[in-house]
Structure 1
């Protein structure tokens, strides 16, 4: 099994005396767990799933999510009736359904709850939860989701939360690729790209991502909030989702190729805004 950080929290607040575990204390998981701790939940070094009433998992990819939940000594082996497992990882629907089936075989409840938001929203408790699965578990953990996020959506059956997250990240990845093209083109024709960021940020196509990422991108700096390798993974999964329903996604497919080029240039662990470097390399060789 993956050697991943974990935390156990005693919940005595609005959630009603729940013991809450958190598996996966990385860029996203750590600040999410910290927000629970700040609200009165104290960590304890215990076997997480067996000890806790509800266990959250925030893993990097479908393989890790499966391993931690259903692998040897996985969370499922510590679950049973009365317990709940909330997977906030970004995975494909098929993986989420596999995890759900294994969790429910134990008698526990399952909720998929991938989040929209990166490092800063996680630190600020401003994530958006896209949930699906057992409605009873959703209602049980709603106070916890409210601590870690600014909004939550219940989308029905398992797979819908995963699908919504992939669509959102597909759009985000394509937006960043297009933004990168614009920054480079403005500079190439003699404009000040920092002024472009201001213009874009005040118009109809304004998005917080542009004003947040633009200044550092102009300086070729990419402090990691959402690793590029994860953005490319989500684009790959979104393209696979589109394939299952024969939906054309030519823009996302083109963007995916740019992220793959960026990965080949050693930028996997940089922020996903480093995709602009893949366009610079194309320009340098044109």
Structure 2
């Protein structure tokens, strides 16, 4: 059992930190809204601290799951940042989806403090975090990953090192690129089924077990057909992730025409008021277009 800190108690971080505590680790938490950290302590034990530095002091492992590049910098750097409180040889594990550039920046800043760094973005959504069934894509030094993996096992069904630092974030970009195209294809298919007078549920019963099947189809088709989108991974966050993908593609020369198009479709969903809707709300856009 290890002494650990968890920074960021959003819909993902809150249950992830809970799984660490349930495994018997000594967990200290930090959250920008302190009341949420106190609520977590009331449910899981451990302790809460008012700054990332204080949460990280004495911890062998520090995990972060925050919002974006700037949020990651704010919990890592400065007098109140986690790196200021971490001991030499401790491991920082970043579960945030961020750019490869900020990952490299944080890796270098950690190294100056003698801190190990693993970039470890996750996939599986809120349900995966709550059920301890996340998939974690990792980059970083091999020795740092080997130490981090047993800790991540508390909330992961699979963790894999893809290479040196930034490899995890680059793999997460691949994940988001694939999801964008899949969800749009599923939305178009269900929209076509409705326009053709077919029962969408019956259609999925038939095609879901064949070559068209996907996680998105199995887990989202019912709520899509019911017009329920107040759950899951928010459109605002998906657009943040796709912006990272598209900017990185500009740098490495990758061609992402479908991703760029779907990103604009998500912009349309935002204009419909769907900023916090699940990414499957592309189907709501299709239905709206079909009304015209």
TM-score normalised to the size of structure 1? 0.89
Kept in 1: contact 2:234–2:275 (CA 8 A): yes
Q: Distance in 2 between matches of 1:33 and 1:240?
A: 31
Structure 1 segments (4+ residues) deviating >4 Å: none
Kept in 1: contact 2:182–2:216 (CA 8 A): no
Kindly report the root-mean-square deviation, in angstroms, between the aligned alpha carbons of the 2 structures: 1.5
User: What secondary structure is seen at the aligned counterpart in 1 of 2:101?
Assistant: helix
Q: 1:115: Cα distance to partner?
A: 1.0
* Alignment equivalent of 2:185, drawn from 170, 178, 186: 178
Aligned to 1:64: 71
Aligned to 1:30: 14
Kept in 1: contact 2:181–2:262 (CA 8 A): yes
Q: Distance in 2 between matches of 1:106 and 1:148?
A: 28
Q: Distance in 2 between matches of 1:216 and 1:88?
A: 27
Q: 1:71: Cα distance to partner?
A: 4.7
Q: Distance in 2 between matches of 1:186 and 1:262?
A: 21
What are the residue-to-residue correspondences of 1:1-286 with 2, within 5 Å? 12=1, 18-42=2-26, 43-46=46-49, 47-71=54-78, 73-285=80-292
Q: 1:88: Cα distance to partner?
A: 0.8
User: What secondary structure is seen at the aligned counterpart in 1 of 2:6?
Assistant: strand
TM-score normalised to the size of structure 2? 0.88
Structure 1: gaps (5+ residues): 1-11, 13-17
Q: 1:96: Cα distance to partner?
A: 0.7
Q: Distance in 1 between matches of 2:268 and 2:21?
A: 40
Q: Distance in 2 between matches of 1:208 and 1:248?
A: 25
User: What secondary structure is seen at the aligned counterpart in 1 of 2:48?
Assistant: coil
Structure 2: gaps (5+ residues): 27-45
Q: 1:106: Cα distance to partner?
A: 1.1
Number of equivalenced pairs = 269
1:150-172: CA deviation from partner (whole Å, max 9, x where unpaired): 11111221111100001111101
**Which of 129-138 and 90-99 deviates more?**
129-138
Aligned to 1:15: none
Q: Distance in 2 between matches of 1:122 and 1:66?
A: 23
Kept in 2: contact 1:258–1:279 (CA 8 A): no
Q: 1:270: Cα distance to partner?
A: 1.6
1:116-170: CA deviation from partner (whole Å, max 9, x where unpaired): 2111111111111111112222111221111211111112211111000011111
